[in-house]
Structure 1
Amino acid sequence: MKKILFLLIAGAFFLLISACNSSDSENTSKPESTDPLAPLEETAKVVIAEDGSASGAGFYIAKDKGYFEQYNIEVEFATFGNSDEMLPAVAAGEVDVAGGVSSASFFNSIAQGIDVRFIADKGHNNEGSSYFTFVVREDLKDELTEYEDVKGKKIAVSTKNAVDHYIYSEMLKHANVATDEVEFVLMSDFSNMMAAMGNKQVDLALQIEPLITQGENQAIHQRFHDATDYAPEAQIAMVLGSPKFLTERRDVAIRFMAAYLQGVRDYNDVFIKNIDDDGEVISIMANHTALKDEALWEEVGVTGLNPNGYIFEEDVEKQYQFYQENGAIQGDLNFDKIIDMSLVEEALKIIGTYEE
């Protein structure tokens, strides 16, 4: 009888312990998410000023592959005629994110009170296949083989006191050729440069893709060395952020940056590491940019995009000083305020560093 009673008590105790464990398991099996990059509770719209340039790759890929959507972010692309229209919209928070290309007028706008931040890389040259580099006329390719051979030549450049002019100046320094020993030909349209090459009106040009590759295929010009020889860390374009986006919508901004960098990393996997993705990234690029020929994407030099987001800060300041020395700058800039890598740094803590 005592043995039976003992067994009944032991059984009851066992059931009680099991029930408690079951209850604890139910209470802890679905804990609340502590992921700092969990999807937003409500869908947030982010407006991006983008004109279909190849340097917007991170935006396009993140959108089409669902990286923004995974954070419950909806992106909308807005197009502006020029930076004079775009920058005030960014400063006012009407546009959250945009792309900015270095120029004296760009820096002057900021110096005069247009409040924007440089928050990530959006374009630089890749060693060996620069997206933006000099080309030499086909019939001169055997004559112009070294940098110093540019002396006495006509060189077409698309803008004055902008990043093109800066890269032109860096090339001449590398060649040890003075500015008065060459002829600077201002030619704003890159397609016109191709025609001028064909008509033998210019000898060299600072050209962009896909016109570089198209001109090579048509025997109009050939690449003249590589831009990273003389401007290895030239910051051509930056991602700009609205101050309101960085402060009042910080939770959205961090998630946006994480998604953007995921898009850039897919881009680098395909174009830099040559990882096969069955053509998905190339298809996205062809869909969003003016270069619709997917086969040509296999040939062109592509825009450099840092998968860890950082810009070449020293080069941005160097370009500003170049414009200043040319007398094209009005007002001073506080680069410690303008360059803000905090979003990049916070996103990297979550998604980790990309191994080159």
Structure 2
Amino acid sequence: MLKLTRRKFGTVALASTAAAVVGAMTLSPAVAADKINVGILSLASHSPSIIAEERGYYAEQGLEVEFVSFQAAQPMAVAIASGDVDFGLTAISGGLISLADKGVIKVVGGALQEYDDIEGQKVIVSKKAHDEGVKTPADLKGRTFGITTTGSSFHYMAHKIADKEGFDRAEIKLKPLQKVPAVIAALKSGQIDAWSIQPNIADNLTSGPDVVEIGSISDYIPNYQVTTVFTSTANATDKQDLVKRFLAALSKGIADYNAAFVDKTMSEEDTAELVKAIHKYLYTDQPLEKADPQIRAGAMRFNENARMNVASIEDQLEWFKSEGLVPEGVTMDKLVDTSFVETF
């Protein structure tokens, strides 16, 4: 993992529309800030954390944040358990659930979610596979599907497609490639047939000649809680105020992200400032003018105030159990702490 130094832009003082998480309040500047490490991936789904840092929402809550970069969800869960990272925001993985069963990790909030009225994650295939007849997700029987690791969200989505289309899960051939960039390269070159990913990445890939969109994940997993907020059990139990303050700041970042990129109710000037801030961490190998449309495109909605869809999380847990990827005895009580945010 790579630590990214804290960076600020300008002196932004824009008001947020987010309601504060219950129990959290802005701390006096005289109080020394609590230093925390926050895990992120180079995906647009981590933009609310970046916004919360860049706009000073973490500072308002007496938090000094350092981002720690990861290439996949499972290593982030391990870092949370070890204490190297304090908070993470990513998809539920088999590693996370196994660590929760051991009593060292808790999911404390919801983040990115599939909504019927908002563009969501897409099923995409290589041009080679498309030319060979893979026109819809039903055609993925017998085809290769890229994932980062066994027990990742990509693994879950692939099997949900198989379940609804009525073929055996084993008939979709999973190819673990460890990192998202490796999956992208394999798809574009035709080394794998298919993948599913957030719309901003999918749209960028399908704008070129090598990748074709064939379906939507929302057709297979309605109301899917794509990512969650998690922390160590020690934090959830012994540092509840810290968790509340983190969620309060993150909720403001979520509200700004939704306003700017989903509902488009934020002014263009303010939205452009957010794009510049996000660009410090995403698409850093590209100039701002090229990264800008990619950051704006295909934005998915985050749950207001980090509300948590426990029904979706339970469905994911049951899938992990059915595949033997986590201990059979792990329960929702071990995995989730519902005391910090509203659940549904």
- Common fold, TM-score beyond 0.5? yes
Residues 4-43 of structure 1 aligned to structure 2 (within 5 Å): 37-40=25-28, 42-43=31-32
Deviation for aligned residue 1:219? 1.5
% identical equivalent positions: 20
| Aligned residue among 213, 218, 221 for 2:203 | 213
Q: Is 1:324 the equivalent of 2:325?
A: no
Residues 49-68 of structure 1 aligned to structure 2 (within 5 Å): 49-53=38-42, 54-68=44-58
Contact 1:56 1:122 in 2 (8 A): no
Structure 2 gaps, min length 5: 1-22
Q: Is 1:44 the equivalent of 2:36?
A: no
Q: SS at the partner of 1:342?
A: coil
Q: Is 1:110 the equivalent of 2:100?
A: yes
The separation in 2 between residues aligned to 1:120 and 1:99, in whole angstroms, is 9
Indicate the residue corresponding to 2:312 in structure 1. Answer: 315
Q: SS at the partner of 1:322?
A: helix
Deviation for aligned residue 1:268? 0.5
Residues 282-301 of structure 1 aligned to structure 2 (within 5 Å): 282-290=275-283, 292=286, 293-299=291-297, 301=298
The separation in 2 between residues aligned to 1:255 and 1:198, in whole angstroms, is 42
Indicate the residue corresponding to 2:274 in structure 1. Answer: 281
Indicate the residue corresponding to 2:16 in structure 1. Answer: none
Q: Which amino acid aligns with 1:124?
A: Q
Deviation for aligned residue 1:42? 0.8
Q: Which amino acid aligns with 2:279?
A: A
Indicate the residue corresponding to 2:302 in structure 1. Answer: 305
Contact 1:93 1:242 in 2 (8 A): yes
CA distance 1:303–1:43, change in 2 (3 Å):
farther
Indicate the residue corresponding to 1:339 in structure 2. Answer: 336
301-310 vs 194-203, which deviates more? 194-203
Q: Which amino acid aligns with 1:136?
A: V
Contact 1:108 1:331 in 2 (8 A): no
Over residues 247-305 of structure 1, what are the superposed CA-to-partner deviations in whole Å (9 max), with x where a residue is unaligned? 44433432332221011000001111012432122222212224651132233x23542
Deviation for aligned residue 1:86? 5.2
Q: SS at the partner of 1:107?
A: helix
Q: SS at the partner of 2:99?
A: helix
Deviation for aligned residue 1:168? 0.6
Indicate the residue corresponding to 2:108 in structure 1. Answer: 119
Contact 1:47 1:78 in 2 (8 A): no
Structure 1 gaps, min length 5: 1-34, 349-356
CA distance 1:45–1:141, change in 2 (3 Å):
farther
Q: Which amino acid aligns with 1:242?
A: S
The separation in 2 between residues aligned to 1:183 and 1:191, in whole angstroms, is 19
| Aligned residue among 234, 239, 248 for 2:224 | 234
Larger radius of gyration: 1
Over the aligned positions, Cα root-mean-square deviation in angstroms equals 3.2
Contact 1:135 1:223 in 2 (8 A): yes
The separation in 1 between residues aligned to 2:151 and 2:334, in whole angstroms, is 23
The separation in 2 between residues aligned to 1:46 and 1:182, in whole angstroms, is 44
The separation in 2 between residues aligned to 1:189 and 1:207, in whole angstroms, is 13
Over residues 71-95 of structure 1, what are the superposed CA-to-partner deviations in whole Å (9 max), with x where a residue is unaligned? 3332233456877775566456664
The separation in 2 between residues aligned to 1:107 and 1:256, in whole angstroms, is 22
Indicate the residue corresponding to 1:8 in structure 2. Answer: none
247-256 vs 139-148, which deviates more? 139-148
336-345 vs 134-143, which deviates more? 134-143
